[in-house]
Amino acid sequence: MVPAARYAAAMQVVDRIRTGTRASVALRDWGRANRFAGSGDRRAIGDIVHDVLRHWWSSAAVGGGDGGRLRVLGLLRLTGVDPASIFTGTGHAPDELSAEEAVQFQGEIPSDLPSLVEGDLRQRFGDDFPGLVQAMRGRAPLDLRVNLLRSSVAEAEAALAADGITVEQVPLCKTALRAPAGDRRLARSRAYLDGLVELQDASSQAAVAFAEPRPGERILDYCTGAGGKALSLAALSNGPVDVHDIAPERMRDLPERARRAGAALTPRGTSALQGRHWDLVFADAPCSGSGSWRRDPEGRIRLTAEMLAALRTAQAQVLDVCAPLVAPGGRLVYATCSMLSAENEDAVTDFVNRTGNWRVCRTLSLSPLNGGDGFFAAWLERT
């Protein structure tokens, strides 16, 4: 497919997303209905669609409407691509621009952050807010975590280089390496297949390092999910980690990942937590995911006040459930991949005020301006 045809296909997919279809489903359905498109075409169309999602409101403003055609037009203008090279009307390209569509946008470009949270982020970042907006419109980097159970940083770099993958170290965390975005050799590389490296954002790694997991400690990862942080906890502590998730099916791939990484992870059902205590309880609570909206840009257009309120309730429940699981002298580390005060500082302050016998020792707050995803962590101890 020529580039213009890919943009035309992306318009169709965006129109389906506007009606409520998930982006992954819309892209899958387009691919099934258009078997002639090769894997390279499907990837390129997916990239265009996700770029539209990252520019959801600005592309509509600059393009002159919220349909797929006009949002793609707006994206082209925002990214410096001449629309005349795409809207040619030949072959499978989009029709030529009408006189109305050819009129250039003159107003203020929206921030591409939901109005529900834009005020909070403006206040939080102050003079850095424009930089945050620009960063959130970009694609997230491809970060790797060196698995210290299998390798040193130098050994991992050498193994990746042997497969032609050049990486650079990321200052956010000593185990973080950054690979070229879109490098598809990684999944076939010896470093990955042998468990020397795992995919994990540098800020996520920094949040685990912030918890200071130590050898010999009893460690529980309460909201394990797919298990990236549990594997990181095991590597940094060089010991076993108990894992738990209220939806155990989220951990279905974790045994194989743990085997490849050489990590000792023990699943614990909810009932098995009662009466037990851990030196470190790491709670990566469910959240809006605002810190990772570059990776999941659809999250920013789906967020509602009702969803945020439900997440606040879930976060309070996680803190209340985890607190009794912390051993005397231990610590509870609360984390989110969010940049919103309501899910971070406010949630922790409410917990401290509600319980009366916990204190915040220190916090970590990261955003894409620091080079990785947005992340928050709070180190909590009993008073």
Sorted by where each begins, the domain ranges of the chain are 3-102, 142-199, 203-382
**200 pLDDT above the threshold of 90:** yes
**170 pLDDT above the threshold of 90:** yes
Q: Which pLDDT score is estimated for 241?
A: 98
Q: Which pLDDT score is estimated for 110?
A: 96
| Residue 181 confidence class, pLDDT cut points 50, 70, 90 | confident
Which residues are known binding-site members for S-adenosyl-L-methionine?
245, 284
Give percent of the chain above pLDDT 90.
Answer: 97
Architecture in CATH of 203-382: 3-Layer(aba) Sandwich (3.40)
Give percent of the chain above pLDDT 70.
Answer: 100
pTM of the entire structure? 0.94
Across the chain, what does the average pLDDT equal?
96
Assigned token pair, 71: 């949002």
| Residue 239 confidence class, pLDDT cut points 50, 70, 90 | very high
Which residues are known binding-site members?
245, 284
pLDDT in tens, 28-62: 999 999 988 898 999 999 999 999 999 999 999 99
Q: Which of 50-54, 181-185, 302-306 has the lowest average pLDDT?
A: 181-185
Q: Which pLDDT score is estimated for 124?
A: 96
| Residue 11 confidence class, pLDDT cut points 50, 70, 90 | very high
| Residue 182 confidence class, pLDDT cut points 50, 70, 90 | confident
**247 pLDDT above the threshold of 90:** yes
Regarding the domain delimited by 142-199, which CATH topology (the fold level of the hierarchy) does it fall under? Alpha-Beta Plaits (3.30.70)
d(CA 44, CA 12): 14
Helix axes 228-237, 202-210, angle to 10 degrees: 50
Q: Which pLDDT score is estimated for 145?
A: 98
d(CA 176, CA 153): 9
Please, what is the end-to-end C-alpha distance for the chain in angstroms?
64
| Mean pLDDT computed over 185-210 | 96
| Residue 233 confidence class, pLDDT cut points 50, 70, 90 | very high
Q: Active-site residue numbers? A: 337
Q: Do domains 142-199 and 203-382 have the same CATH topology?
A: no
Decide if 339 contacts 357 (C-beta within 8 A): no
| Mean pLDDT computed over 94-102 | 96
**183 pLDDT above the threshold of 80:** no
